[in-house]
């Protein structure tokens, strides 16, 4: 590939991954959010990861590495293998302004997820994203650039519901309201195990059929569904009625 002038490289959304090998410096230009996805195995298509499918000595200046150099240093003439090694082992370069912006965006994303997944137990209403961000700052919650937002949101929820954070921000996971129905003879056998997964029982009517309306944590939905399906051989039903 011909040497490309730096003016052709869009640096607005680019991350540079740099690696020194054999006394020489090699760089590749990637999309910011794709580097961590590659390292975690989520993304494997190099064309989705690379802003420019090329190996450089200096990305901003558009200086392309000589083929002889990277072939000798990496002991292969397969460019994709070299790029993958740089992606895996190289150092991700992010300037301070980008890092600040990235952490700010990630913080907002985490707060948004927490707002969507939780309610104030006193009012059953959601906290605002701004209120959650303020609480994150107050308790010194450290946002990590290399960790997925959802994992950090769940970590924050756990921290806010722990005894050490009691009184900081009243919060609990949003619940699912579900209707469970099954033949009464099956219910006598499995009801106790199902109710262990339930947070609150709203209605419980046992006859030839057992029908119950209950509130559960979203994480228990699969367990309850499996119990109902397996124990009733498909004769039972679990119906989602909405969030609480």
Whether the pTM exceeds 0.85: the reply is no
Architecture of domain 176-243: 2-Layer Sandwich (3.30)
How much is the pLDDT for 154?
Answer: 93
Look at the domain 13-93 and name its fold: 3.30.1250
How much is the pLDDT for 6?
Answer: 43
User: Tokens 């009691």, residue?
Assistant: 166
Contact 158, 110 (CB under 8 A): no
In Å, how far from its chain's centre is CA 167? 27
How much is the pLDDT for 5?
Answer: 43
Top-level class of domain 96-173: mainly alpha
Location of each CATH 3.30.70.240 domain in the chain: 176-243
* Residue-by-residue pLDDT tens, the chain, 244 positions: 444 444 445 455 678 999 999 999 999 999 877 888 898 888 889 999 999 999 999 998 889 999 999 999 999 999 999 999 999 999 888 766 667 777 889 999 999 999 999 999 888 899 999 999 999 999 999 998 878 899 999 999 999 988 776 778 999 989 999 999 999 999 999 999 999 999 999 999 999 999 999 999 888 999 999 999 999 998 999 999 988 8
Q: List the structure tokens of 132.
A: 């959650």
Location of each CATH 1.10.10.900 domain in the chain: 96-173
Q: What is the 3-state secondary structure (H, E, C) of the chain?
A: CCCCCHHHCCCCCEEEEEEEECCEEEEEEEEHHHHHHHHCCCCCCHHHHECCCCCEEECCCCEECCHHHHHHHHCCCCHHHHHHHHHHHCEEECCHHHHHHHHHHHHHHHHHHHHHHEEECCCCECCCHHHHHHHHHHCCCCCCCCCCHHHHHHHHHHHHCCHHHCCCCCCEECCEEEEEEEEHHHHHHHHHHHHCCCCEEEEEEECCEEEEEEEECHHHHHHHHHHHHHHHCCCCEEEEEEEC
In angstroms, rounded to a whole number, what is the distance separating the alpha carbons of residues 99 and 113?
Answer: 21
How much is the pLDDT for 36?
Answer: 82
């Amino acid at each position: 590939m011909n040497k490309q002038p730096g003016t052709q490289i869009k640096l607005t959304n680019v991350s540079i991954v740099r690696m020194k090998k054999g006394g020489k410096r090699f760089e590749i230009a990637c999309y910011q959010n794709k580097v961590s996805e590659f390292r975690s195995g989520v993304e494997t298509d190099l064309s989705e990861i690379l802003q420019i499918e090329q190996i450089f000595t200096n990305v901003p200046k558009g200086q392309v590495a000589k083929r002889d150099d990277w072939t000798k240093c990496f002991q292969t003439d397969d460019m994709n293998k070299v790029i993958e090694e740089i992606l895996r082992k190289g150092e991700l370069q992010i300037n301070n302004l980008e890092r600040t912006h990235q952490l700010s965006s990630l913080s907002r994303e985490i707060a948004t997820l927490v707002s969507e997944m939780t309610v104030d137990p006193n009012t059953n209403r959601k906290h605002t994203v701004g209120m959650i961000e303020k609480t994150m700052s107050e308790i010194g919650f450290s946002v990590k650039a290399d960790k997925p937002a959802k994992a950090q949101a769940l970590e924050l929820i756990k921290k806010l519901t722990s005894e050490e954070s009691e009184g900081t921000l009243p919060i609990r996971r949003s619940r699912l309201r579900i209707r469970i129905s099954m033949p009464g003879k099956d219910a006598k056998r499995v009801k106790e195990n199902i109710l262990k997964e339930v947070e609150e029982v709203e209605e419980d009517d046992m006859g030839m059929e057992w029908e119950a309306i209950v509130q559960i944590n979203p994480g228990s939905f699969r367990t309850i569904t499996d119990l109902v399906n397996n124990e009733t051989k498909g004769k039972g039903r679990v119906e989602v009625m909405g969030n609480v």
